[in-house]
Amino acid sequence: MRVVSVVGARPNFVKIAPVIEAMKDIGLIETVLVHTGQHYDYLMSRAFFEDLAIPDPDFHLGIGAGTHAEQTAKVMVQFEQVLEPTKCDFVLVVGDTNSTMAAALTAVKLGIPVVHVEAGLRSFDRSMPEEINRLVTDAIADHLFTPSTDADDNLQREGVPAEKIHFVGNVMIDTLLKYQAAARDRDAATHVGLTPKDYAVLTLHRPSNVDSRDTFSRIIDAVEAVQREIPVVFPVHPRARYQIAALALEERLAALTGLRLIEPLGYLDFLSLQMDARFVMTDSGGIQEETTVLDVPCLTLRGRTERPVTVTVGTNEVVGTNPDCIRESVRAILGNRWKRGRVPPRWDGKASERITGVLLSLSDQGRRTVVHS
Protein backbone atom coordinates (compact mmCIF):
# COMPACT_ATOMS: atom_id res chain seq x y z
CA MET A 1 0.00 0.00 0.00
CA ARG A 2 1.20 3.53 -0.74
CA VAL A 3 -0.05 6.45 1.36
CA VAL A 4 0.69 10.08 0.55
CA SER A 5 0.68 12.11 3.78
CA VAL A 6 0.39 15.89 3.72
CA VAL A 7 1.61 18.42 6.28
CA GLY A 8 1.96 22.17 6.12
CA ALA A 9 1.88 23.88 9.50
CA ARG A 10 3.33 23.43 12.98
CA PRO A 11 0.43 21.43 14.49
CA ASN A 12 0.45 19.06 11.49
CA PHE A 13 4.03 18.02 12.21
CA VAL A 14 3.21 16.90 15.76
CA LYS A 15 0.28 14.83 14.47
CA ILE A 16 1.99 13.20 11.50
CA ALA A 17 5.18 12.09 13.28
CA PRO A 18 3.71 9.06 15.10
CA VAL A 19 1.54 8.09 12.12
CA ILE A 20 4.53 7.91 9.77
CA GLU A 21 6.50 5.96 12.36
CA ALA A 22 3.65 3.48 12.83
CA MET A 23 3.21 2.99 9.08
CA LYS A 24 6.92 2.32 8.65
CA ASP A 25 7.00 -0.08 11.61
CA ILE A 26 4.26 -2.18 10.00
CA GLY A 27 6.49 -2.68 6.96
CA LEU A 28 3.54 -3.03 4.60
CA ILE A 29 2.90 0.63 3.87
CA GLU A 30 5.03 2.85 1.66
CA THR A 31 4.85 6.45 2.84
CA VAL A 32 5.27 9.54 0.69
CA LEU A 33 5.50 12.78 2.67
CA VAL A 34 4.47 16.11 1.16
CA HIS A 35 5.23 19.40 2.96
CA THR A 36 3.22 22.27 1.51
CA GLY A 37 5.41 24.94 3.12
CA GLN A 38 2.51 26.78 4.76
CA HIS A 39 4.83 27.21 7.75
CA TYR A 40 8.35 27.65 6.48
CA ASP A 41 10.79 29.29 8.91
CA TYR A 42 13.12 27.19 11.07
CA LEU A 43 11.35 27.52 14.43
CA MET A 44 7.90 26.86 12.95
CA SER A 45 8.90 24.00 10.65
CA ARG A 46 12.39 22.53 10.43
CA ALA A 47 12.89 22.47 14.22
CA PHE A 48 9.87 20.16 14.51
CA PHE A 49 11.23 17.77 11.89
CA GLU A 50 14.47 17.57 13.88
CA ASP A 51 12.87 17.24 17.33
CA LEU A 52 10.40 14.56 16.20
CA ALA A 53 12.71 12.67 13.83
CA ILE A 54 10.32 13.19 10.92
CA PRO A 55 11.94 12.11 7.64
CA ASP A 56 12.70 14.79 5.09
CA PRO A 57 9.69 15.42 2.83
CA ASP A 58 9.66 13.64 -0.50
CA PHE A 59 8.10 16.79 -1.94
CA HIS A 60 8.20 20.39 -0.66
CA LEU A 61 5.68 22.66 -2.37
CA GLY A 62 7.05 25.91 -0.96
CA ILE A 63 3.76 27.82 -0.98
CA GLY A 64 4.71 30.21 1.84
CA ALA A 65 2.50 32.92 3.29
CA GLY A 66 -0.62 34.44 1.76
CA THR A 67 -4.33 34.87 2.22
CA HIS A 68 -6.51 31.82 2.83
CA ALA A 69 -7.51 31.79 -0.84
CA GLU A 70 -3.92 32.17 -2.04
CA GLN A 71 -2.60 29.37 0.17
CA THR A 72 -5.45 27.02 -0.72
CA ALA A 73 -5.10 27.65 -4.45
CA LYS A 74 -1.32 27.26 -4.44
CA VAL A 75 -1.51 23.98 -2.54
CA MET A 76 -4.11 22.58 -4.95
CA VAL A 77 -2.15 23.51 -8.06
CA GLN A 78 1.18 22.21 -6.75
CA PHE A 79 -0.22 19.10 -5.05
CA GLU A 80 -2.06 18.03 -8.19
CA GLN A 81 1.29 17.97 -9.99
CA VAL A 82 2.64 15.64 -7.29
CA LEU A 83 -0.38 13.33 -7.14
CA GLU A 84 -0.96 12.68 -10.83
CA PRO A 85 2.33 10.79 -11.38
CA THR A 86 2.40 9.36 -7.83
CA LYS A 87 0.14 6.34 -7.78
CA CYS A 88 -1.23 5.92 -4.26
CA ASP A 89 -4.01 4.15 -2.40
CA PHE A 90 -4.84 6.95 0.02
CA VAL A 91 -4.09 10.59 0.70
CA LEU A 92 -3.82 11.14 4.44
CA VAL A 93 -4.36 14.62 5.89
CA VAL A 94 -4.20 15.73 9.51
CA GLY A 95 -5.79 18.54 11.50
CA ASP A 96 -7.55 21.61 10.19
CA THR A 97 -5.12 23.88 8.35
CA ASN A 98 -5.50 25.36 4.88
CA SER A 99 -3.09 22.66 3.68
CA THR A 100 -5.39 19.97 5.10
CA MET A 101 -8.46 21.15 3.22
CA ALA A 102 -6.62 21.96 -0.01
CA ALA A 103 -4.91 18.58 -0.20
CA ALA A 104 -8.17 16.76 0.51
CA LEU A 105 -9.98 18.67 -2.23
CA THR A 106 -7.23 17.94 -4.73
CA ALA A 107 -7.23 14.22 -3.97
CA VAL A 108 -11.00 13.88 -4.15
CA LYS A 109 -11.12 15.56 -7.55
CA LEU A 110 -8.55 13.05 -8.78
CA GLY A 111 -10.60 10.14 -7.42
CA ILE A 112 -8.13 9.23 -4.66
CA PRO A 113 -9.61 8.16 -1.29
CA VAL A 114 -8.95 10.65 1.52
CA VAL A 115 -8.18 9.74 5.13
CA HIS A 116 -8.68 12.53 7.68
CA VAL A 117 -6.86 12.15 11.00
CA GLU A 118 -8.39 14.27 13.79
CA ALA A 119 -11.80 14.34 12.16
CA GLY A 120 -15.09 15.42 13.71
CA LEU A 121 -13.93 18.28 15.92
CA ARG A 122 -16.32 21.23 15.94
CA SER A 123 -16.30 24.65 17.58
CA PHE A 124 -19.64 25.55 15.90
CA ASP A 125 -18.11 28.95 15.13
CA ARG A 126 -17.86 29.47 11.39
CA SER A 127 -15.94 32.71 11.83
CA MET A 128 -12.92 30.48 12.59
CA PRO A 129 -11.08 29.57 9.36
CA GLU A 130 -10.15 26.23 10.92
CA GLU A 131 -13.84 25.37 11.39
CA ILE A 132 -14.47 25.77 7.66
CA ASN A 133 -11.44 23.60 6.91
CA ARG A 134 -12.75 20.92 9.28
CA LEU A 135 -16.26 20.94 7.82
CA VAL A 136 -15.09 20.74 4.21
CA THR A 137 -12.47 18.08 4.84
CA ASP A 138 -14.85 15.85 6.80
CA ALA A 139 -17.59 16.26 4.19
CA ILE A 140 -15.38 14.92 1.38
CA ALA A 141 -13.15 12.43 3.25
CA ASP A 142 -13.68 8.71 2.73
CA HIS A 143 -12.42 7.64 6.15
CA LEU A 144 -12.56 9.76 9.31
CA PHE A 145 -10.29 8.99 12.25
CA THR A 146 -11.57 10.68 15.40
CA PRO A 147 -9.72 11.61 18.60
CA SER A 148 -12.69 11.57 21.00
CA THR A 149 -16.25 10.31 21.22
CA ASP A 150 -17.77 13.79 20.88
CA ALA A 151 -16.16 13.94 17.42
CA ASP A 152 -17.97 10.70 16.51
CA ASP A 153 -21.23 12.26 17.68
CA ASN A 154 -20.66 15.37 15.56
CA LEU A 155 -20.05 13.33 12.42
CA GLN A 156 -23.08 11.13 13.01
CA ARG A 157 -25.30 14.20 13.42
CA GLU A 158 -23.96 15.48 10.10
CA GLY A 159 -25.02 12.25 8.40
CA VAL A 160 -21.65 10.55 7.98
CA PRO A 161 -22.17 6.77 7.67
CA ALA A 162 -20.95 4.85 10.70
CA GLU A 163 -18.65 2.65 8.62
CA LYS A 164 -16.59 5.73 7.66
CA ILE A 165 -15.93 6.75 11.29
CA HIS A 166 -13.08 5.22 13.26
CA PHE A 167 -12.52 6.23 16.89
CA VAL A 168 -8.76 5.80 17.23
CA GLY A 169 -7.73 8.34 19.87
CA ASN A 170 -5.43 11.34 19.81
CA VAL A 171 -2.22 11.18 17.76
CA MET A 172 -0.88 14.34 19.42
CA ILE A 173 -0.82 12.41 22.68
CA ASP A 174 1.14 9.62 20.98
CA THR A 175 3.85 12.21 20.35
CA LEU A 176 3.61 13.74 23.82
CA LEU A 177 3.96 10.43 25.62
CA LYS A 178 6.88 9.34 23.45
CA TYR A 179 8.85 12.55 24.01
CA GLN A 180 7.81 13.46 27.56
CA ALA A 181 11.04 12.27 29.16
CA ALA A 182 13.20 13.95 26.53
CA ALA A 183 11.26 17.18 27.02
CA ARG A 184 11.78 17.10 30.77
CA ASP A 185 15.51 16.79 30.23
CA ARG A 186 15.44 20.09 28.30
CA ASP A 187 14.61 22.01 31.52
CA ALA A 188 13.38 24.90 29.38
CA ALA A 189 12.08 26.96 32.31
CA THR A 190 15.50 27.19 33.93
CA HIS A 191 17.13 28.07 30.62
CA VAL A 192 14.90 31.13 30.26
CA GLY A 193 15.44 32.16 33.89
CA LEU A 194 12.18 30.86 35.39
CA THR A 195 11.45 28.68 38.40
CA PRO A 196 9.43 25.51 37.69
CA LYS A 197 5.79 25.78 38.83
CA ASP A 198 6.23 29.50 39.48
CA TYR A 199 5.34 30.95 36.07
CA ALA A 200 2.55 31.00 33.50
CA VAL A 201 2.78 30.41 29.76
CA LEU A 202 0.93 32.59 27.24
CA THR A 203 0.43 31.72 23.56
CA LEU A 204 -1.55 33.69 21.00
CA HIS A 205 -1.81 33.31 17.26
CA ARG A 206 -5.45 33.29 16.12
CA PRO A 207 -6.51 36.21 13.91
CA SER A 208 -9.59 36.78 16.07
CA ASN A 209 -7.26 37.59 18.98
CA VAL A 210 -4.18 39.21 17.50
CA ASP A 211 -5.56 41.02 14.43
CA SER A 212 -8.04 43.08 16.42
CA ARG A 213 -6.57 45.91 18.48
CA ASP A 214 -9.54 45.88 20.85
CA THR A 215 -9.32 42.14 21.52
CA PHE A 216 -5.54 42.09 21.77
CA SER A 217 -5.69 45.03 24.17
CA ARG A 218 -8.22 43.24 26.39
CA ILE A 219 -5.93 40.26 26.61
CA ILE A 220 -3.02 42.53 27.49
CA ASP A 221 -5.19 44.12 30.21
CA ALA A 222 -5.57 40.67 31.73
CA VAL A 223 -1.91 39.79 31.32
CA GLU A 224 -0.94 43.08 32.95
CA ALA A 225 -2.76 41.98 36.11
CA VAL A 226 -1.54 38.37 35.95
CA GLN A 227 2.13 39.25 35.59
CA ARG A 228 1.96 41.17 38.86
CA GLU A 229 1.05 37.89 40.59
CA ILE A 230 3.27 35.44 38.71
CA PRO A 231 5.83 35.73 35.89
CA VAL A 232 4.41 35.15 32.42
CA VAL A 233 6.48 33.83 29.48
CA PHE A 234 5.17 34.50 25.99
CA PRO A 235 6.75 32.60 23.05
CA VAL A 236 5.67 34.98 20.31
CA HIS A 237 4.17 33.41 17.19
CA PRO A 238 5.24 35.19 13.95
CA ARG A 239 1.68 36.39 13.33
CA ALA A 240 1.43 37.83 16.84
CA ARG A 241 4.82 39.51 16.52
CA TYR A 242 3.78 41.15 13.27
CA GLN A 243 0.52 42.38 14.79
CA ILE A 244 2.23 43.70 17.91
CA ALA A 245 4.22 46.00 15.63
CA ALA A 246 1.31 46.78 13.29
CA LEU A 247 -0.97 47.72 16.19
CA ALA A 248 1.78 49.69 17.97
CA LEU A 249 1.65 47.54 21.11
CA GLU A 250 5.41 47.11 21.65
CA GLU A 251 5.75 49.90 24.18
CA ARG A 252 2.85 48.69 26.26
CA LEU A 253 4.16 45.11 26.39
CA ALA A 254 7.69 46.28 27.15
CA ALA A 255 6.37 48.09 30.23
CA LEU A 256 5.16 44.81 31.78
CA THR A 257 8.17 43.80 33.85
CA GLY A 258 6.71 40.40 34.75
CA LEU A 259 6.10 39.47 31.11
CA ARG A 260 8.90 37.84 29.15
CA LEU A 261 8.66 37.74 25.36
CA ILE A 262 10.75 35.01 23.73
CA GLU A 263 11.12 33.48 20.28
CA PRO A 264 8.90 30.52 19.32
CA LEU A 265 10.20 27.23 20.68
CA GLY A 266 10.66 23.83 19.07
CA TYR A 267 8.48 20.95 20.16
CA LEU A 268 10.64 19.57 22.96
CA ASP A 269 11.45 22.94 24.52
CA PHE A 270 7.85 24.09 24.44
CA LEU A 271 6.60 20.80 25.88
CA SER A 272 9.16 21.21 28.65
CA LEU A 273 7.92 24.74 29.30
CA GLN A 274 4.32 23.51 29.54
CA MET A 275 5.18 20.65 31.87
CA ASP A 276 6.70 22.95 34.46
CA ALA A 277 4.15 25.78 34.18
CA ARG A 278 1.73 26.66 36.97
CA PHE A 279 -0.86 27.25 34.26
CA VAL A 280 -1.19 28.09 30.56
CA MET A 281 -3.22 30.81 28.81
CA THR A 282 -3.72 30.02 25.12
CA ASP A 283 -5.87 30.20 22.02
CA SER A 284 -4.33 27.00 20.63
CA GLY A 285 -6.33 23.82 20.21
CA GLY A 286 -3.48 21.37 20.65
CA ILE A 287 -2.26 22.98 23.87
CA GLN A 288 -5.69 22.36 25.42
CA GLU A 289 -5.11 18.66 24.78
CA GLU A 290 -1.51 18.59 25.94
CA THR A 291 -2.22 20.40 29.20
CA THR A 292 -5.07 17.97 29.94
CA VAL A 293 -2.67 15.03 29.74
CA LEU A 294 0.04 16.93 31.65
CA ASP A 295 -2.49 17.91 34.36
CA VAL A 296 -1.65 21.60 33.96
CA PRO A 297 -4.48 24.15 34.32
CA CYS A 298 -5.38 25.72 30.98
CA LEU A 299 -7.30 28.93 30.26
CA THR A 300 -8.55 29.03 26.67
CA LEU A 301 -8.70 32.63 25.46
CA ARG A 302 -11.55 32.07 23.02
CA GLY A 303 -15.32 32.01 23.15
CA ARG A 304 -15.60 28.36 22.10
CA THR A 305 -13.47 25.27 21.74
CA GLU A 306 -13.57 22.43 19.23
CA ARG A 307 -12.08 20.21 21.95
CA PRO A 308 -14.84 20.15 24.59
CA VAL A 309 -13.55 16.90 26.06
CA THR A 310 -10.66 18.92 27.53
CA VAL A 311 -13.26 20.91 29.47
CA THR A 312 -15.59 18.08 30.48
CA VAL A 313 -12.88 15.72 31.71
CA GLY A 314 -9.66 17.71 31.48
CA THR A 315 -7.97 20.70 33.07
CA ASN A 316 -9.18 23.24 30.52
CA GLU A 317 -11.75 26.04 30.86
CA VAL A 318 -12.91 28.39 28.11
CA VAL A 319 -12.65 31.89 29.57
CA GLY A 320 -12.82 34.12 26.50
CA THR A 321 -10.99 37.44 26.37
CA ASN A 322 -12.76 39.36 29.14
CA PRO A 323 -10.03 40.55 31.53
CA ASP A 324 -12.22 40.06 34.61
CA CYS A 325 -12.98 36.43 33.69
CA ILE A 326 -9.31 35.71 33.05
CA ARG A 327 -8.21 37.32 36.32
CA GLU A 328 -10.88 35.42 38.27
CA SER A 329 -9.71 32.11 36.80
CA VAL A 330 -6.08 32.92 37.58
CA ARG A 331 -7.01 33.67 41.20
CA ALA A 332 -8.70 30.27 41.41
CA ILE A 333 -5.58 28.55 40.10
CA LEU A 334 -3.20 30.43 42.38
CA GLY A 335 -5.56 29.74 45.29
CA ASN A 336 -5.41 25.99 44.53
CA ARG A 337 -9.12 25.93 43.67
CA TRP A 338 -8.77 24.56 40.13
CA LYS A 339 -10.28 21.28 39.00
CA ARG A 340 -8.22 18.14 38.52
CA GLY A 341 -8.59 16.47 35.17
CA ARG A 342 -8.32 12.96 33.85
CA VAL A 343 -7.13 11.57 30.54
CA PRO A 344 -9.88 10.93 27.94
CA PRO A 345 -10.36 7.43 26.53
CA ARG A 346 -7.79 6.24 23.99
CA TRP A 347 -5.39 9.08 24.69
CA ASP A 348 -2.92 6.33 25.49
CA GLY A 349 -0.13 6.64 22.92
CA LYS A 350 -1.59 3.98 20.61
CA ALA A 351 -3.77 6.02 18.25
CA SER A 352 -1.28 5.70 15.37
CA GLU A 353 -1.19 1.94 15.75
CA ARG A 354 -4.98 1.87 15.48
CA ILE A 355 -4.84 4.05 12.36
CA THR A 356 -2.41 1.73 10.58
CA GLY A 357 -4.54 -1.25 11.57
CA VAL A 358 -7.62 0.31 9.97
CA LEU A 359 -5.67 1.27 6.84
CA LEU A 360 -4.47 -2.30 6.39
CA SER A 361 -8.01 -3.55 6.92
CA LEU A 362 -9.31 -1.14 4.28
CA SER A 363 -6.64 -2.26 1.85
CA ASP A 364 -7.56 -5.91 2.43
CA GLN A 365 -11.22 -5.11 1.83
CA GLY A 366 -10.30 -3.37 -1.43
CA ARG A 367 -8.28 -6.36 -2.61
CA ARG A 368 -11.08 -8.76 -1.72
CA THR A 369 -13.57 -6.60 -3.65
CA VAL A 370 -11.38 -6.71 -6.76
CA VAL A 371 -10.90 -10.50 -6.50
CA HIS A 372 -14.61 -11.23 -6.01
CA SER A 373 -15.67 -8.92 -8.83
The interaxial angle of helices 10-26 and 285-294, nearest 10 deg, is 60
For residue 273, is pLDDT > 70?
A: yes
Question: Does position 322 have pLDDT exceeding 90, yes or no?
Answer: yes
DSSP string of 3-44, one letter each residue: EEEEE-SHHHHHHHHHHHHHHHHHSS-EEEEEE--SS-SIII
Architecture of the domain delimited by 180-334: 3-Layer(aba) Sandwich (3.40)
Q: How many CA atoms lie within 13 A of 42 on its CB side?
A: 1
Sign of CA dihedral 68, 80, 171, 199: negative
* Active-site amino acid positions: 205
Backbone angles phi, psi at 198, to 5 degrees: -130, 40
Q: What's the pLDDT score for residue 65? A: 82
- Judged against a pLDDT cut of 90, whether residue 278 lies above it is answered with yes
How much of the chain exceeds pLDDT 70, in percent?
A: 96
pLDDT at 371: 33
Q: What is the pLDDT of residues 13-70, one digit of tens each?
A: 999 999 999 999 999 999 999 999 877 665 667 888 999 999 999 999 988 888 899 9
Determine the average pLDDT of the residues in 91-119.
97
Average pLDDT over residues 331-353: 97
- Check whether 373 has a pLDDT greater than 50: no
Query: Residue 369: is its pLDDT beyond 50?
Result: no
Return the sign of the alpha-carbon dihedral for residues 259, 265, 268, 269: negative
Q: Which CATH class is domain 2-170+347-372?
A: alpha beta
pLDDT on residue 38: 78
> What residue spans in the chain does CATH classification 3.40.50.2000 cover?
2-170+347-372, 180-334
Question: Which region among 40-44, 245-249, 256-260, 278-282 has the lowest average model confidence (pLDDT)?
Answer: 40-44
Amino acid (1-letter code) at residue 45? S
Backbone angles phi, psi at 277, to 5 degrees: -80, 150
